[in-house]
Amino acid sequence: MSLWITGTQVDNEETLGNLPVLQKNETLINLKGVGVYRAGRWLVRGVDLSVRAGEIVTIIGPNGSGKTTTAKMAIGVTRPDEGQVVRARNLRIGYVPQKLSINAAMPLTVRGLLMLSGKQNSSDIDETLDMVGVLRLANAQVHFLSGGEFQRVLFARALLGKPQLLVLDEPVDGVDFSGSLELYQLISKIRDTTGCGVLLISHDLHVVMAQTDTVICLNSHVCCRGTPELVAENPEYLKLFGKGAAQDLAIYKHHHDHTHLADGTVVHTSVEHTDEGHEGCDHD
Amino acid sequence: MIDDFFIRALLAGIGLAFIAGPLGCFVIWRRMAYFGDTMAHSALLGVALSLAFQVDVLWGVFAVSMLVALALLALQAKGNPSARLFSSDALLGILSHSALALGLVVVSLMSWLRLDIMGFLVGDVLSVSNRDLLMIYGGGTLVLVCLAWIWRSLLMATVSEDIAEAEGLAPRRAELVLMLLLAVTIAIAIKIVGVLLITALLIIPAAAARRFSATPEQMAALAIVAGIAAVVGGLFGSLQFDTPSGPSIVVAALMVFLVSLALPLKAKEN
């Protein structure tokens, strides 16, 4: 599947052009002490955050904690009122926003939406839709998709540009439980095969845990950060989410025995569930 | 037998339909109906000013509606304090009617001008000259070429401004170009349907096209067809019933829209 390999053997020189090939661990974005001030208060302040190639960084935090604002600063949509944002040169970003409603007055098929991302050939689009498991919806109108289907389509759209950095704002909103597991596994698989960096926003640590390298717990400022296991034990995190959150914390491990989502057949995935939180956690 | 002036009117209207169709789609998709109305209403002020300074009406109208568009963008910008107090719909309501009233007042103050205000309010397509036709088709071609140029980024910006921005599609530039194109269209359309009815010619044919379209491009193309039908129907109707041409075109457009709602769809209903 050459589509997913960014590197020297990429066959599509048109989309890669003369862009620099990603180095492993190369810093893609670096936010230093950024803050956004609106209507007399700081939405977020003093956030340090960086994402390197091949790394999955998850921002968690309650509603209104500035997760989306931080992501928008990272991708350059919102300008920080203080601090500094450094992005790698010519960084290709794939962005899935949290909420998106398309005016029903605009007729748009799934395929048409994906075509907007640039000069795309049909087989790339089909391949990407297939990967995300929504190929059968290629010619459907976007207005008639369910929440979960639409999220997958948006995810496919973001992947299509062969991003070096994926920014996903609550990508599993409206996706059912097993669907979210699948999506998170897909995200981590894409990270493994393409070496892209991922900035993930989530309001719950449960499901993202096994796939995340670094967790940043945000509540208008960075409360704590570190590996998921460390954050789950951190008193700041517990204060924010309550003791129950830590006790219930379930860690879903998966081994890369590769489910394929789209072909209809259910390929065996082993999902382990431990009630002991971090105890049973060993990333493979 | 059809007179020359009627042929010119038909050609002018059809030319306008070609630009109003695709642009009107964006006006609908981006919920800019009131915005377009405000720009169009300000055109009367443009007429008055260009007569006062003795420049071509087209330029005056273009300049004033563009200025109003820029002012509106600035007013609606997120950081603007007034944007927090009033919804954009209230702001547009204030500006749209103020612009029209201001235009009427300024025109009446310039008592030395003998100006047919009605002609500017509801259009005077039967008086279209060969030079006007040249402007319509020249300007129209320019508008369509520019629109094709920004088509994809404008569509993406319409779907999601944030995505377009994040992925380097320059949504602000596309929006600014759209404003420019709207201003050109208003300058062209003022003679055909007048400032009061320009928005109708943008929106109604596009709306009539919606049910029969599966893609944005189809909707734009069908909107052109619906616009041409409205122009031809309206002009022949105005000839037949001796009614004013601009309003007749809009009434015909309304009929096209109503028919579009009534027509059954062959394939599965969208």
Quick check: A244 pLDDT over 70? no
Taking residues B186-211, report their average pLDDT.
92
B216 vs A205 pLDDT, higher one: B216
Chains A & B: contacts with CB separation below 8 Å: 69
Domain boundaries, chain B: 4-259
**What's the pLDDT at B78?**
63
pLDDT (tens digit per residue) in A11-32: 333 333 334 456 667 889 999 9
pLDDT band at A57 (very low <50, low <70, confident <90, very high): very high
pTM of the full structure: 0.81
Residues contacting residue A117 through CB under 8 Å, at least 6 positions apart: A157, A160, A161, B156, B167
Taking residues B14-28, report their average pLDDT.
96
- Inter-chain touch B270–A141, beta carbons under 8 Å: yes
Average pLDDT score over chain A = 76
pLDDT (tens digit per residue) in B154-189: 999 999 988 998 888 888 899 999 999 999 999 988
Q: Residue A118 and residue A114: Cα distance in Å, rounded?
A: 8
Angle at A135 between CA A129 and CA A136, to 5 degrees: 160
Quick check: A281 pLDDT over 60? no
**What's the pLDDT at A207?**
67
Q: Which of A28, A69, A99, A108 to mutate to test the interface with B (most CBs of B within 10 A)?
A: A108
**By three-state DSSP, how is residue A237 classified?**
helix
**What's the pLDDT at A9?**
33
Which residues is A32 bridged to in the sheet? A84
Quick check: A277 pLDDT over 50? no
Joined together, the tokens standing for residue B224 give: 């052109």
**What's the pLDDT at A243?**
58
pLDDT band at A242 (very low <50, low <70, confident <90, very high): low
Residue with tokens 């001796």: B242
Q: Residue B87 and residue B95: Cα distance in Å, rounded?
A: 13
What percentage of chain B has pLDDT greater than the value 90? 48
pLDDT (tens digit per residue) in B52-65: 888 888 889 999 98
Quick check: A185 pLDDT over 80? yes
Q: Residue A101 and residue A147: Cα distance in Å, rounded?
A: 10
The verdict on A141 touching B (C-beta cutoff 8 Å) is yes
Q: How many CB atoms lie within 10 A of CB A13?
A: 8
The Cα-based distances of B67 to A136, A246, B42, B99 in angstroms read 47, 57, 9, 12
pLDDT band at B242 (very low <50, low <70, confident <90, very high): very high
Quick check: A10 pLDDT over 50? no
The verdict on A116 touching B (C-beta cutoff 8 Å) is yes
User: Which residue of A lies nearest to B166 if distances are taken between CA atoms?
Assistant: A75
Which of B84, B162, B207 minimises the CB distance to A72? B162
pLDDT band at B209 (very low <50, low <70, confident <90, very high): very high
Query: End-to-end distance of chain A based on CA atoms, in angstroms?
Result: 23
| C-alpha closest to that of A52 among A89, A71, A27, A24 | A27
**What's the pLDDT at B81?**
65
B114 vs B117 pLDDT, higher one: B117
Quick check: A132 pLDDT over 90? no
Taking residues B13-17, report their average pLDDT.
95
Taking residues B203-226, report their average pLDDT.
96
Quick check: A235 pLDDT over 50? yes
**By three-state DSSP, how is residue B199 classified?**
helix
- Inter-chain touch A107–B160, beta carbons under 8 Å: no
Taking residues A179-187, report their average pLDDT.
83
User: Which residue of B lies nearest to A143 if distances are taken between CA atoms?
Assistant: B270
Alpha carbon of A7: minimum distance to chain B alpha carbons (Å)? 20
Which of A75, A97, A107 minimises the CB distance to B214? A107
**What's the pLDDT at B210?**
95
Taking residues B207-226, report their average pLDDT.
96
Task: Classify domain B4-259 by CATH architecture.
Answer: Orthogonal Bundle (1.10)
pLDDT (tens digit per residue) in B56-96: 888 899 999 899 888 888 877 766 666 667 777 888 888 88
User: Which residue of A lies nearest to B161 if distances are taken between CA atoms?
Assistant: A77
pLDDT (tens digit per residue) in A83-100: 999 988 888 899 999 888
Q: Which chain A residues are within 8 Å of B219, Cβ to Cβ? A: 106-107
pLDDT band at A259 (very low <50, low <70, confident <90, very high): very low
Which H helix or E strand runs over B71?
helix B57-76
The Cα-based distances of B11 to A221, A224, B231, B232 in angstroms read 63, 69, 9, 9
pLDDT band at A280 (very low <50, low <70, confident <90, very high): very low
pLDDT (tens digit per residue) in B97-106: 888 898 888 8
Instruction: Quote ipTM for the complex.
Output: 0.84
The verdict on A15 touching B (C-beta cutoff 8 Å) is no
Residues contacting residue A56 through CB under 8 Å, at least 6 positions apart: A187, A188, A191, A197, A198, A200, A211, A212, A213, A214
CB-based contact A97:A168 (threshold 8 Å): no
User: Which residue of B lies nearest to A103 if distances are taken between CA atoms?
Assistant: B29
**What's the pLDDT at A4?**
35
Which of A97, A107, A117 minimises the CB distance to B210? A107
The verdict on A245 touching B (C-beta cutoff 8 Å) is no
The Cα-based distances of A121 to A14, A126, A147, A244 in angstroms read 12, 9, 26, 49
Which H helix or E strand runs over A173?
none
The Cα-based distances of B173 to A42, A180, B32, B169, B170 in angstroms read 29, 37, 17, 9, 6
**What's the pLDDT at A106?**
95
Taking residues A264-269, report their average pLDDT.
41
